[in-house]
Structure 1
Amino acid sequence: MTTTPATLVVGATGTTGSRVTARLTATGHRVKAASRNATPVPGAEPVAFDWYEPGTHAAALDGVDRLYLVPPVGDSDPAAVMLPFLRRARAAGVRRAVLLSSSAVPAGGPAVGVVHEALPGLFAEWAVLRPSWFMQNFTGTHLHARGIRDEGVIRSAAGGGRVGFVDAEDIAAVACHALTDDHVPGPDLVLTGPEALGYDDIAAITTEVTGRSVVHHRLSYEQLRDRLAALMPAEFAALLAGLDRAVAQGAEDRVTDTVRRVTGRPPGSFRALLEREE
């Protein structure tokens, strides 16, 4: 009996990976759900996977013909571990790869931008999702969400800059199309929500919907960098603070039609997300 090839979802318990796994399994696709501890995921085949443990890679790739790739968190040079794995995946018969990157990182840019640039030379079918900042940063376990819950404060170095914050559900919906459609819907997919919002707007909407008073504290680049450096490697802290500085300069003040174009429906709003989760 021939076994149907599977999709390997890296980070299957994470913000986007869990949603991609749920959508794929709900539509009858075979999924290998990769996480460090092979955490059971409904409808999927759990498999142990660690970017930094090559001994976990062969079993994860067995029977797989497509990949959803979430880079290692907090690594300023993910290509060092990702590219050897991707070459191994190609040799194992993987034909399509969908990479989660960022709207702030173009092909050839820093960090995961190096992996983005390498994909066309590795796979015949590939796509890179470049979402803007996640709306779930304000509702999950992110520093912003914890600041809202614990202090009623959002801290950023973004000033009055605006961001096309995007719902992780919309990212997952686009990812599933990129993984399963007969033709990949464009290789470089910049994903945003329906409007660009400043952090002052996020605070005001959160206050209105939840009834909890939330304010935005504007930090300098140096202040944010130093706060983050107490929680993570200094190089990565500087990278994140630099992204906020770019937001302040207008780098993320845009919206795209990618979600609607790929899925056939408009992206969800931040207000709708809060109302859904309240």
Structure 2
Amino acid sequence: MTDLDTTLVIGATGTTGRRVTAGLVAEGRHVKAAGRNATPVDGAQAVRFDWNEPATWDEALAGVGRAYLVPPIGSSDPAAVMLPFLRKARAAGMRRAVLLSSSAIPAGGPAVGQVHEELPGMFEEWAVLRPSWFMQNFAGQTPHARSIREDGAIRTATGQGRVGFIDAEDIAAVAVRALTDEQAPDTDLILTGPQALSYGDVAAVISEVTGRPVEHQHLTFEQLRDRWAAEIPLEFATMLAGMDRTIADGAEDRTTDTVERLTGRPPGTLRAFVEREIP
């Protein structure tokens, strides 16, 4: 019988997945780096995986005892494909599952909230990571990053609402602990950075660090929904715009000690992130 000592990382080249993979490899863990193109990842075994292609599931699960689960991107109903996969994983002997969700989505809520609700009944060892909004949303090729570079603006429907923005490095560090510590968290974990900031505060930090003026432009819910709907399905665009509205109402105005409690170090600041990742 196969010794289930391998950790499967789904989305291994993505924002959190590549950092989780690197963290596991650094600890000497055997990792299967799963993605649609089986892209090579240093120190890991690349494997092709697609949520929407069950034929790719068996190879990904072979020898796997733990998994980091990134839901299918852009899906408003990830449970439709994730739950059948997780049932197969349980039957194959996987014992620990760490799911990436969102601070805005509780167990039983929309989208990945349905998977969150089922997870404790499927695995004895589990965790659901519920990070606040990623600092990485302001860098790279994201919509916010493009509008910062091209227009000197961040456009949201959040008003003066504040968010405990978190660095993906800290999310990954918590994920590695949740996957490898002898005792699994067996709960959901709200992850935030050290300070709750408005998008106006974010614009001010980026302006100060980069020397380029950036402003926060306020949109209505409808304006933001329509902007998203030009790029993604309307149902998903409506859900994303609705998240901005909950921020405006104060739902994300909080910080937690989870990162420091699980990793032994405080979470990174927005300023440090901007200095590192926004030229």
TM-score (ref. length: structure 2): 0.98
Alpha-carbon deviation of 1:145? Answer: 1.1
Question: Residue 14 of structure 2 aligns with which residue?
Answer: 14
Letter in 2 for 1:38: A
Alpha-carbon deviation of 1:4? Answer: 6.4
After TM superposition, the structure 1 = structure 2 runs for residues 162-177 of structure 1, keeping only pairs within 5 Å, are: 162-177=162-177
Question: Residue 63 of structure 1 aligns with which residue?
Answer: 63
> What is the aligned-residue RMSD (CA, Å)?
1.2
Aligned: 1:187 with 2:158: no
Q: What are the Cα deviations for residues 62-89 of structure 1, in whole angstroms up to 9, with x where unaligned?
A: 0100010000011000000000000000
Letter in 2 for 1:25: V
Structure 1 Cα separation of the partners of residues 142 and 98 of structure 2: 24
Alpha-carbon deviation of 1:140? Answer: 2.4
Q: Secondary structure at the match of 1:176?
A: helix
Runs of 4+ in 1 over 2 A off after TM superposition: 1-4
Question: Residue 98 of structure 2 aligns with which residue?
Answer: 98
Q: What are the Cα deviations for residues 108-157 of structure 1, in whole angstroms up to 9, with x where unaligned?
A: 00100000000011101000000000000001222111111222111100
Question: Residue 242 of structure 2 aligns with which residue?
Answer: 242
Q: What are the Cα deviations for residues 5-29 of structure 1, in whole angstroms up to 9, with x where unaligned?
A: 2100000000000000001001100
Aligned: 1:154 with 2:154: yes
Tell me, yes or no, if the aligned pair for 1:101 and 1:130 is still in contact at 8 Å. Answer: yes
Unaligned runs of 5+ in 1: none
After TM superposition, the structure 1 = structure 2 runs for residues 1-278 of structure 1, keeping only pairs within 5 Å, are: 5-277=5-277, 278=279
Structure 2 Cα separation of the partners of residues 246 and 194 of structure 1: 20
Structure 1 Cα separation of the partners of residues 151 and 199 of structure 2: 16
Q: Secondary structure at the match of 1:206?
A: helix
Structure 1 Cα separation of the partners of residues 27 and 6 of structure 2: 13
Tell me, yes or no, if the aligned pair for 2:120 and 2:186 is still in contact at 8 Å. Answer: no
- Cα 1:4–1:124, aligned 2, differ >3 Å: closer, same or farther? closer
Q: What are the Cα deviations for residues 30-75 of structure 1, in whole angstroms up to 9, with x where unaligned?
A: 0000000000000000000000000000000001000100000110
Structure 2 Cα separation of the partners of residues 33 and 204 of structure 1: 38
Structure 2 Cα separation of the partners of residues 3 and 130 of structure 1: 30
Tell me, yes or no, if the aligned pair for 1:185 and 1:262 is still in contact at 8 Å. Answer: no
Aligned pairs, number: 278
